[in-house]
Structure 1
Amino acid sequence: MDRIRIRGGNRLTGTIPISGAKNAALPLMIVSLLTPGTLTLSNVPRLADVRQLQRILQNHGVDIMVAGKRPGQNGMQGDVKQLSAKVIADTTAPYELVSKMRASFWVLGPLLARCGEAKVSLPGGCAIGTRPVDMHLLAMEKLGAEIAIENGYVIANAKKGLKGAHIAFDKVSVGATHAALMASVLADGDTIIENAASEPEIGDVAECLVKMGARIEGIHTSTLKVRGVTSLTGAEHSVIPDRIETGTYAMCVAMAGGDVLLKDANSGHLSAVIDIMRGAGIGVESTNEGIRIHRNGHALEPVKIDTEPYPGFPTDCQAQLMALMTKADGTSMIRETIFENRFMHVQELARLGADIHLHGDTAEVRGVKKLTGAPVMATDLRASVSLVIAGLVAEGETTINRVYHLDRGFETLEEKLSACGADVTRISGS
C-alpha cells in the first residue's frame, strides 16, 4: 500500500494547475446514460473515483474512449473522455461496484428516465456520517416512480415514463438535487425543484444538459425549473476547475509560506474560503490566470467558521482549514454542520502536536508554536489532505498511510507540490 512522505520546512513558490472538479466530473459522466449520442467531456481529472465510475458505466453498456494527449499537454492536465450509451445493456448497478463510491448511486435517475426501470445497490463511500438516500427516492416517487427496497437494493419502476412534478426538499442536498435534475429532463411535463443545492458543480451539470437539448431555467439558483423533452443529444463540455482542490492548495501555501499561482482557479466559486483566508492574514489575489496566494512572515490569525451549504464555507475544506489553524496565533472555533462524523482527522493531527479539543459539533483549535513529524493515517478523502498541510511545516518527517483516500480526489498531488519546492515523495508499497 502506497504512503506519502513529507519533510517539512520548505516554502512554496511557483504555479499549481487546478484540475477539473471531481464533484462535477462524476455526475457529468453519469449524464451520458441519458442519451444515445456521444458526450465528450474535457478536463476530466485522473482520479481513482473517476476510474471506478467508469467501470460502473461500462457495466451499463457505456462505451468510453480516452482521447490521446494534445500537443503541449502535460501530465497535470485532465483527460478528454468520449462516452457513448447507444444501448443500455443492463439497468442493474451491483453492490460490488456501487458500495465503493456513493456518487455511483446517482445512476438511478438517468436509468429510470431513459429505461423506465433500475435496480441500484444502496451506496457506500467515506465513513463521514449518515448520508441517507431518502431524498433521492422522494424525488423519484414525486416523478411517478414506484420504489421498493429489497436485499440492499433500490428497485425502481416507471413503465409509463416519469412525469413532471413539484419537488420541494426539506433540506439542501447536492446528491438529491443531481438525482432530481437528471431524472426530470426526460420526464413528461414541467418539474420545479425547490430548495435545490446551488453548488457550481450542479450548475455545470445543468449547463451541459442544456447543451444536450434539456430545457432548464434557474441554473445556479435554489429553484430549478425543468421542461421535459423526449430525448437528448450528444454534446461537448469542459469540466469546471475544482474549487475544493483550489482551497486545499491555497491552504498549503498559507501554511508553508511563499507565493503560488493557482492556475485556472475560479475565485467566484470560492468566495467564502477566500474571505476567511484574508481574515487570517493571508494574501489572496484574483488574476486573469487564476488565484495568487502569498504569505511571507505574517502570523496566522485565528478564525471562527461554521460549515454551510454553498455559498457558505464548504465542509470539504473544513479539515484543511483546521490543519492551517493549528499554527495560528490564538484559538480558532470550527463548527461542522453538514456531517456529524467529520472530525476523524483530529486524532491524527494531534499525533503531529496539534492542540484540538472537541465540543460536540465544534472543534476548538489552539495554535501551537511547533508541529513535529510522525506516522499518521488517512481516514477519508478530505481529512487525508489535512495531514499533508500539517506535514508541510512539521519538523522532521511525516509519513501518511492509506493514501488511496487521497488518490480518490487529488490528481498528482505530490508532483504539484514538489514542483513548487515541497519535499513530498510517494513511497510505493505492497
Structure 2
Amino acid sequence: MKQMIIHGGKPLQGDVWIGGAKNSTVALIPASILSRTPVTLEGVPKIADVDNLMDLLSEMDVVSDFHNTTLRINPEHIKMSPLPSGKIKSLRASYYFMGALLGRFGKAVVGFPGGDDIGPRPIDQHIKGFEALGACVKNENDQIKITSPAEGLHGATIHLAMPSVGATMNIIMASVTAKGQTIIDNAAKEPEIIDLATFLNNMGAIIRGAGTDSIRIEGVKQLQAKTPHTIIPDRIEAGTYISLAGCIGNGICIHNIIEEHLDSYLAKVEEMGVVIDATEDSLYVYPAGDLKMTQIRTSSYPGFATDLQQPVTPLLLSAKSGEGVIIDQIYPKRIGHIEQLRKMGADIKVEDNIILIHPTAKLHGTKVSAGEIRAGACLMIAGLMADGETVIDNADNILRGYDRVQEKLRLLGADVKIQDAPNE
C-alpha cells in the first residue's frame, strides 16, 4: 500500500496539463479486443487502472505496450479465457470485458467486479441488456457466465431504467457485432460514451446518437483498427485541479481541457466567486478572493458530476460565510470522506445523506485514509490547504485515477511525496 505525505499551507502556482479521461480509458482498453488488428490509443493517462487492465489483457494472450502516453494493444492472437476474480476485484471497470468478450467471442466468464466502495452499484441493467440481445447470463461460483445462442446475438430495443454509463457502454460493445439493429433508450450521454462510439466507428462499427438519450447500433461482422485514437481530456481531473486552484492557488493555468464538458461544474465554481479565464483549450484560475457557499445537487450528464462532489468539497470549506449543501443523487452513500475531513478540523457533517458544510478557517494536518479515488482527491486538496503534515493512507486509490499526480503537484510548488506505507 502507498501513502501520500503532504506538507501543506503553501500557495501553488504554475501550469498543469490534464491527461486522457480515466472513464474513457477503462472502457477503450477492453473495447480494443473487438478489433481484429492492432490498436493504438494516444493520450493514455499513467494510472494504476491502466496497469491492471493490461494485466487482464495478458490473461488472454493480448500483448500490450505502454510508453509515455501511447498504449499499443495487439489482439490478433487473443484467446478466450475466463478472467480471474482476484484481478477483476481490483477495479470496477473490469466489467467492460463482459460486453467486449461477448461481442468478440459470443461468450464471457468474468469475476464479479470490485472497485470503489461508494454504495450500491448493481450491474442488473448490464445483464438486462445482454439478455435482450439473446444472451444467457448465469451467476456461478462468484462468476458471471454469459453465452450467446448458437445463431449469435441479435439486435433489440433496450430501455434503461436509469441512464447508466457502464450499462450503456457495455451494451454498445456487445451489440456492435450483433445481427440487426440495437436501440438503447434512456442511454447515458456522457462525453466518454461519445469517445467510445468514435473509437468503435473508426474501426467500422455503425453507431449513431452517442451523446443523446437514444443510441442506434447496426451490427457489423467484425472491426478493424486503422488509425490511432486520441482519448478525450479527463473532465474529472480538470475539475479537481480547478478546485485546488480555487482553494490554494496563486494563479494556475490548466491545459488540455474541453470546457463544455465542465459547464455545470464551472457554473457552480464561478457562482462561489472563483474567477476563471477560458481560452480554446485551457482555463486560467485567478487567486481566489472571498468565496461564498452554494448548493450542489449531482445528476447525470450534463448535470454536476458525482465524481466531482468530493473534490469540490474543500473549495466549499474555503468559503467565508453561509452553509453549503451537497446532495448526491447518483451515489448518496458517497460520504466516506466526511469523517476524514472532520479529523482535519473541517466543520462538515451528514444528515439524511445530505452533506452540510460550514466555513472552516483552518485545517490541520493529520493521518487520514483515502477510501476510494475521489475521496482521496478531496483529502489531497485538503492536505495541501492544511497547516502541518498530512499523511493519506491507501493513496493507491488516488493513483488509480489521477495521472502522474505527484509530478504535477510538485510542478505547482507542492511539497508532496508518495511512498510505500511502513509495515504495521
Distance (whole Å) between structure 2 residues aligned to residue 250 and residue 419 of structure 1? 16
| Aligned pair partner of 1:253 in 245, 251, 256 | 245
Correspondence for 1:345: 337
Q: Which runs of 5+ in 2 are unaligned?
A: none
Distance (whole Å) between structure 1 residues aligned to residue 387 and residue 100 of structure 2? 50
Correspondence for 1:176: 167
Does residue 386 of structure 1 match 2:378? yes
The one-letter amino acid paired with 1:399 is V
* Shift in CA distance, 227/102, structure 1 to aligned 2, threshold 3 Å: same
Correspondence for 1:161: 152
Q: Any idea what SS the aligned residue of 1:144 has?
A: coil
Normalising by structure 1, report the TM-score.
0.95
Per-residue CA shift, 1:215-240, capped at 9, x if unaligned?
11112111111111111111310111
Give the C-alpha shift of residue 289 in structure 1. Answer: 4.0
RMSD across aligned positions (CA): 1.3
Give the C-alpha shift of residue 22 in structure 1. Answer: 0.8
Identity of aligned residues (%): 36
Q: After superposition, where does 1:412-423 map in structure 2 within 5 Å?
A: 412-423=404-415
| Aligned pair partner of 2:389 in 383, 397, 410 | 397
Correspondence for 2:266: 274
Correspondence for 2:69: 79
Q: Any idea what SS the aligned residue of 1:120 has?
A: strand
Distance (whole Å) between structure 2 residues aligned to residue 47 and residue 84 of structure 1? 20
Does residue 151 of structure 1 match 2:151? no
Moved more, 15-24 or 53-62: 53-62
| Aligned pair partner of 2:98 in 102, 108, 124 | 108
The one-letter amino acid paired with 1:19 is G
The one-letter amino acid paired with 1:221 is T
Distance (whole Å) between structure 2 residues aligned to residue 153 and residue 425 of structure 1? 38
Does residue 231 of structure 1 match 2:222? yes
Q: Any idea what SS the aligned residue of 2:377 has?
A: helix
Distance (whole Å) between structure 1 residues aligned to residue 106 and residue 355 of structure 2? 46
Aligned residues: 419
Per-residue CA shift, 1:237-283, capped at 9, x if unaligned?
01111000000011111000311111111111111110011001001
Distance (whole Å) between structure 1 residues aligned to residue 120 and residue 19 of structure 2? 29
Give the C-alpha shift of residue 300 in structure 1. Answer: 1.4
Give the C-alpha shift of residue 61 in structure 1. Answer: 2.4
The one-letter amino acid paired with 2:192 is E
Distance (whole Å) between structure 1 residues aligned to residue 344 and residue 15 of structure 2? 28
Distance (whole Å) between structure 2 residues aligned to residue 151 and residue 113 of structure 1? 23
Distance (whole Å) between structure 2 residues aligned to residue 315 and residue 133 of structure 1? 18
Give the C-alpha shift of residue 29 in structure 1. Answer: 0.8
Correspondence for 2:54: 54
Give the C-alpha shift of residue 2 in structure 1. Answer: 2.8
The one-letter amino acid paired with 1:95 is S
Correspondence for 1:66: 66
| Aligned pair partner of 1:334 in 323, 326, 329 | 326
Give the C-alpha shift of residue 308 in structure 1. Answer: 0.7
| Aligned pair partner of 1:94 in 84, 95, 100 | 84
Give the C-alpha shift of residue 66 in structure 1. Answer: 2.9
Per-residue CA shift, 1:106-154, capped at 9, x if unaligned?
1111211221211111111111111111111100001111111111111
Distance (whole Å) between structure 1 residues aligned to residue 291 and residue 414 of structure 2? 20
Distance (whole Å) between structure 2 residues aligned to residue 422 and residue 112 of structure 1? 46
Distance (whole Å) between structure 1 residues aligned to residue 89 and residue 2 of structure 2? 22
Is the CA contact (8 Å cut-off) linking 1:305 and 1:333 kept in structure 2? yes
Distance (whole Å) between structure 1 residues aligned to residue 362 and residue 70 of structure 2? 44
Correspondence for 2:31: 31
| Aligned pair partner of 2:367 in 358, 367, 375 | 375
Q: Which segments of structure 1 move beyond 4 Å, counting only runs of 4 or more? A: none
Per-residue CA shift, 1:6-40, capped at 9, x if unaligned?
22222221100101111101111111111211111
Normalising by structure 2, report the TM-score.
0.96
The one-letter amino acid paired with 1:138 is K
Distance (whole Å) between structure 2 residues aligned to residue 220 and residue 7 of structure 1? 42
The one-letter amino acid paired with 1:346 is I
Correspondence for 2:316: 325
Correspondence for 1:305: 296
Is the CA contact (8 Å cut-off) linking 1:112 and 1:118 kept in structure 2? yes
Is the CA contact (8 Å cut-off) linking 2:80 and 2:105 kept in structure 1? no
Q: Any idea what SS the aligned residue of 2:311 has?
A: helix
Q: Any idea what SS the aligned residue of 2:43 has?
A: strand
Distance (whole Å) between structure 2 residues aligned to residue 136 and residue 429 of structure 1? 37
Distance (whole Å) between structure 2 residues aligned to residue 17 and residue 266 of structure 1? 12
Give the C-alpha shift of residue 102 in structure 1. Answer: 1.1
Distance (whole Å) between structure 2 residues aligned to residue 96 and residue 343 of structure 1? 26
Distance (whole Å) between structure 1 residues aligned to residue 174 and residue 2 of structure 2? 39
Q: Any idea what SS the aligned residue of 1:107 has?
A: helix
Q: Any idea what SS the aligned residue of 1:270 has?
A: helix
Q: Any idea what SS the aligned residue of 1:176 has?
A: helix
The one-letter amino acid paired with 2:156 is A
Distance (whole Å) between structure 1 residues aligned to residue 81 and residue 174 of structure 2? 15
Q: Any idea what SS the aligned residue of 1:132 has?
A: coil
* Shift in CA distance, 426/111, structure 1 to aligned 2, threshold 3 Å: closer
The one-letter amino acid paired with 1:384 is G
The one-letter amino acid paired with 2:35 is T
Correspondence for 1:192: 183
Distance (whole Å) between structure 2 residues aligned to residue 209 and residue 309 of structure 1? 23
Does residue 124 of structure 1 match 2:114? yes
Distance (whole Å) between structure 1 residues aligned to residue 77 and residue 352 of structure 2? 50
The one-letter amino acid paired with 2:85 is Y
Distance (whole Å) between structure 2 residues aligned to residue 171 and residue 152 of structure 1? 25
